[in-house]
A and B are shown apart, each in its own frame.
Chain A
Amino acid sequence: MLQQAFDGLVSGAFYALLALGLAVIFGMLGVVNFAHGAFYMLGAFGAYVLLDHWGVSFWIALPVVPVVLGVVGVAVERLLVRRLAALDPLYNFLLTFGIALVLQDLVKREYGVQSQPYPRPSALSGSVNLGLFSYPSYRVFVLGVAVVACLVVWYALSRTRAGMIVRAATERPELTRALGIDVGRWVTPVFGAGIALAGLAGVLAAPMRAVNPLMGSDLIIAVFAVVVIGGLGSIFGSVVSGFAVGVLTAVTNFYLPSLSQTLVFILMVVVLLWRPAGLFGREEGVA
């Protein structure tokens, strides 16, 4: 039971990383990035291709793949997303949906739908004793990386000058501009950072989840529900509800396995009834 809950924390770590990236992008651009799941998938495939074609190890892929995907994200923002920035955010939602389809089927064409194997890094192949039970050390590592990534994002946003500007530009873009800050310049790196977070989640997923072209698309819809639960645009809410949904799903899987896949959507319904803006969200119109 306790081990189930720990499993839940680990899968919650993936929800949290993806939801965090979505929340950061949404806060700054007002765009819900449908392609987020596709970038997560590309992160896993990036690690796989590096190892399979060039023998590059997990430890190098872990920082390199997210950075490369972050650059791809910057290009996507500059070339495509920006063109629709002045319009209703729904257009960018549709655009990123198209991008997701293209990315997913491109990978499918190259590698097929079957899952690709990716070995656990040898240093983390054992298990660690957590006192009450022993646990695969790779999963402990995933949890650690996710928590550190969330803390870094929190620190960067709340304690650095760049984070201050980003928060100001998110809340009051006109006023920030009036204070002499070029808001547009900050949009691109924030988008890139959000994509890099998705890529990081993807690399982390490669050794423990099936690496296939469809791995992102089902996950991203669950993450949408997570984000609705936490309150869209709330960075704290997205992380907390990511971990919470992970744990609750794992515990449900223990007692009522048939309900585990649908639980996140049922939670979303409950939250919509109780607090339409999400647990940590503000009323519509502000966000």
Chain B
Amino acid sequence: MILRRLAARPVLLAAGLLVALALPWLIYPPVAMDMVCWALFAVAVDLLLGFTGLLSFGHAAFWGSSAYLTGLIALHSGLPFPVAVLGGALAAAVLAVPIGWLSVRRTGIYFAMVTLAFAQLVYFVANQWRGLTGGENGLQGIPRDFFGVDLSDPFFFYYAGLPIAVLGLWFAWRVVRSPFGRVLVAVRDNPARARALGYPVDRYKLLAFVLSAGLSGLAGGLFTMGHGFVSLEEVYWTTSGQVVMMVVLGGIGTLWGGVLGAVLIVELGDYLSTAGFEETGIVTGTVFALTVLVFRRGIWGTAAWLTAGRRERAADGATVPVGERENGEPVRA
């Protein structure tokens, strides 16, 4: 059983990479780029939600602020686009330090509300700082410079952007698998015990928050490069909600589930808007509500549960790790 699962891992990885490489042949390349960006964003949010137990409803602040800064760097400096994206990601991480420092004082539902409020603060600042952000017009005509290589074709840009996203995904995987990641899980499952064992719980939460924000920024910067413009929507609360939706649909605490959730939601949105159906919230909201009601393990979580051995299943109890209750016990679904 264990041997079979060990063998399955490289096969899954190879299959995932193959699909990622073939994607712009299969679907419209800009949509493929969107999927990659949202996938990285969802994984970044799951790093915080699934592995630290903190539901942030304000990650649009990091995705969006990086989108703006990446756009500004590319517009005014002429540096190669990966530098602009990295600059945006760094800015998002820096912004996450004060926001995270204040937010980790609260847990659970409070944390969600506080992060949401912070994101709205960032939204209003972006809206009013017209000189820098262009207000409601956003930033337009952002160039994709890369040592003189012509990347204006979205098909080629996909292959230029993909390695950055893959690096981000690999980084998230490394974080989760590191000793640091194990401490995060301990903080999620039993903060009181983690504290008693000598781990500074709030500092771990803050670091996880900053890492998650930095990765979200990487995704947001890449998204800006893919579109060539930044709009206010990137910092709006719907963006924060959308990414949480992707994580829950894919499976909280599965890391790769977020990728699946992102691909499905982006595809669904693209399908609906191609069909002339503008009010995507009716469909995505329903899908999301149903997922929360009857399908809380998500796609990846369900697949893992089905393929796991019976003994593992019993031992694991298939926890759905969201937040912590007042008594600090994890909640089982």
Contacts and interface: CB of A to CB of B under 8 A. Distances in A.
Interface in A78-104: 80, 83-84, 87-91, 93-95, 97-102, 104
A272 B284 CA distance: 33
Interface stretch (B7-15, B87-95, B157-165, B289-297): B289-297
A221 B117 contact: yes
A265 B105 contact: no
Contacts of B241: 97, 101
Contacts of A100: 285
Contacts of B292: 84, 91, 94-95, 98
B322 A232 contact: no
B288 interface: yes
A261 B117 contact: no
A164 B120 CA distance: 37
A105 B118 contact: no
Contacts of A88: 108, 322-325, 331
Nearest to B118: A265
B109 A101 contact: no
B281 A225 contact: no
Nearest to B119: A221
B187 to A, nearest CB: 16
Helix, strand, loop or mixed for chain A's interface?
Answer: helix
A83 B293 contact: yes
B46 to A, nearest CB: 14
A285 B121 contact: no
Contact of A102 (B237, B289, B323): B289
Contacts of B112: 32, 90, 93
B288 A97 contact: yes
Given A108-B279, A217-B237, A32 B121 contact: no
Contacts of B237: 217, 221
Contacts of B327: 285
Q: Looking at A94, A99, A105, which has the most chain B CB atoms within 10 Å of its CB?
A: A94
A97 B280 CA distance: 14
Given A89-B108, A272-B114, A284-B110, A101 B55 contact: no
A84 B322 CA distance: 13
Contact of A84 (B114, B118, B286, B293): B293
Contact of A98 (B113, B118, B120, B288): B288
A268 interface: yes
Interface string B50-63: 00000100000000
Given A228-B113, A265-B120, A105 B285 contact: yes
Interface in A231-287: 232, 258, 261-262, 265-266, 268-269, 272-273, 276, 284-286
A258 B117 CA distance: 18
Contacts of A286: 326
Interface residues of A, number: 45
B125 A91 contact: no
A106 B116 contact: no
Contacts of A98: 245, 285-289, 292
Nearest to A101: B285
B239 interface: no
B17 interface: no
B22 interface: no
Interface in B78-128: 102, 105-110, 112-114, 116-118, 120-121, 124-125, 127-128
Interface in A115-169: none
A228 B281 contact: no
A227 interface: yes
B248 interface: yes
A87 B106 CA distance: 19
B286 A102 contact: yes
Contacts of A91: 292, 296, 322
A87 B285 contact: no
B121 A265 contact: yes
Contacts of A262: 121, 124-125
Contacts of B102: 269, 272-273
A228 B286 CA distance: 28
B289 A284 contact: no
A104 B113 contact: no
Interface of B: 55, 102, 105-110, 112-114, 116-118, 120-121, 124-125, 127-128, 237, 241, 244-245, 248, 278-282, 284-289, 292-293, 296, 322-327, 331, 333
22 contacts: A84-B293, A90-B109, A90-B112, A90-B323, A94-B292, A95-B292, A97-B241, A97-B285, A98-B245, A98-B285, A98-B286, A99-B289, A102-B285, A105-B281, A109-B278, A228-B113, A258-B128, A265-B120, A265-B121, A276-B105, A284-B110, A285-B326
Given A87-B331, A91-B292, A101-B288, 5 more contacts: A32-B109, A94-B292, A98-B287, A221-B237, A268-B117
